[in-house]
């Protein structure tokens, strides 16, 4: 009798455990991208997904002709974007936090390329990380 009672109690405890469990959620898919909006070098885009694991990094880069590059580096909690080759201060590097990106981020940056042309680059969250021009 005691063994029945103890088995029943064990089953109830297991049932309660499952009843109390919550739906598991996978890693959030936060991305950051940079898209060239104009200029003679054609459409260019680069996009990375913020990684999940401690120590992970995700990077991508693309060149806009010989005018400048668009470099992205994503860590778990922030992402860095740089425009090597740019001549203007507005195109200095930026660091965006996970909070900024998950809330939705969009900024158009004017980049003065080394070819003397002014380019518009849209920096934004929510890009598709399969859209890289230079994977």
Partner 1 sequence: MISQLPWTGVPRVVLAGAFAFAVGVVDARPAHAAPVSEGSGPPARTGFQMALRSGVSFPMGDASGGGSDTLGRRYAWQLPIAIDLGAKVTRSIFVGTYFQLGFGAEGSDREVTAYCDDDDDNFSNDVSCSALTARLGLMANYQFAPDAAVNPWLGYGFGFESASQSLNDKQHGYSETTTASGLTYAQLAGGVDFRGSVGGGPYLEFAMGRFTRTSTEQNGRQVYSGAIDDRALHAWITLGLRLVVRP
Residues at the interface with partner 1 (CB under 8 A)? 18-19, 21-27, 29, 48-49, 51-60, 76, 129, 135
Q: Shortest approach of partner 1 to residue 32 CB, angstroms?
A: 13
User: 76, 54 in Cβ contact below 8 A?
Assistant: yes
Nearer to partner 1, 19 or 106 (CB): 19
Spatial contact of 84 and 106, defined as CB atoms under 8 Å apart? no
Distance of closest approach, residue 27 Cβ to partner 1, in angstroms: 5
CB of 29 to partner 1, least distance (A): 7
Q: Which is nearer to partner 1, 1 or 19 (CB)?
A: 19
Q: Which residues contact 82 (CB under 8 A, 6 or more apart)?
A: 69, 70, 71, 93, 94
51: its two tokens: 């990684």
Token pair 């919550």: residue: 22
């Amino acid at each position: 009798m005691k063994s029945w009672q103890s088995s029943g109690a064990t089953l109830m405890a297991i049932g309660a455990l499952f009843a109390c469990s919550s739906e598991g959620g996978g890693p959030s898919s936060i991305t950051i991208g940079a898209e060239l909006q104009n200029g003679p070098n054609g459409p260019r885009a680069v996009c990375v997904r913020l990684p999940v694991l401690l120590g992970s990094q995700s990077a991508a880069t693309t060149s806009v002709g010989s005018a400048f590059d668009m470099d992205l580096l994503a860590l778990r909690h922030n992402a860095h974007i740089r425009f090597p080759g740019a001549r203007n201060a507005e195109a200095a590097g930026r660091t965006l936090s996970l909070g900024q990106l998950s809330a939705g981020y969009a900024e158009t940056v004017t980049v003065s390329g080394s070819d003397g042309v002014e380019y518009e680059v849209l920096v934004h969250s929510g890009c598709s990380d399969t859209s890289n021009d230079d994977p």
